[in-house]
Amino acid sequence: AQSVTQPDIHITVSEGASLELRCNYSYGATPYLFWYVQSPGQGLQLLLKYFSGDTLVQGIKGFEAEFKRSQSSFNLRKPSVHWSDAAEYFCAVGAHNYGQNFVFGPGTRLSVLP
């Protein structure tokens, strides 16, 4: 079964600074990988996904993520953080079949200092 770890429970950055949120997964084959964002009281919104091909994927709101098979990682990055990026970020992995379930990591809470 697949699993996801997000080593950082809480990260604080200053507005305008760069950001990297870490995600490591465990899965026996090439996974489908996702990053979702959840603002307080809101549902989960898809930021970006990796299925195959180019290992650097672009998403909404200026986010990108890079799939590194050798490190089993799918870290999320943004070059310049905005105050509105403060939220909870979840990495998820989906299995390569139709009877799939998505497994989410525990999340990383991002705080942005003015």
Chain residues binding other proteins by CB under 8 A are: 4, 32, 34, 36, 41-46, 49, 51, 90, 94, 96, 98-107
Q: Which residue in the block uniquely carries the two structure tokens 């705080």?
A: 111
CB 5 to other proteins: min, Å: 10
- CB of 24 vs other proteins, minimal distance in Å: 14
By beta-carbon proximity to other proteins, the closer residue of 36 and 112 is 36
Nearer to other proteins, 15 or 38 (CB): 38
State the minimum distance, in angstroms, from the CB of residue 112 to other proteins.
19
Nearer to other proteins, 18 or 58 (CB): 58
Q: Which residue's CB is nearer to other proteins, number 99 or number 114? A: 99
From the number of C-beta atoms within 10 Å of its C-beta (0-12, 13-18, 19+), residue 105 rates as buried
Candidates 43, 42, 44, 49; CA nearest to 63 is: 49
Task: Tell me how far, at minimum, the Cβ of 27 lies from other proteins, in Å.
Answer: 12
- Rounded to an integer, what distance in angstroms lies between the CA atom of residue 99 and that of residue 5? 22
Contact 105, 88 (CB under 8 A): no
The radius of gyration of the chain's CA atoms, rounded to the nearest angstrom, is 14
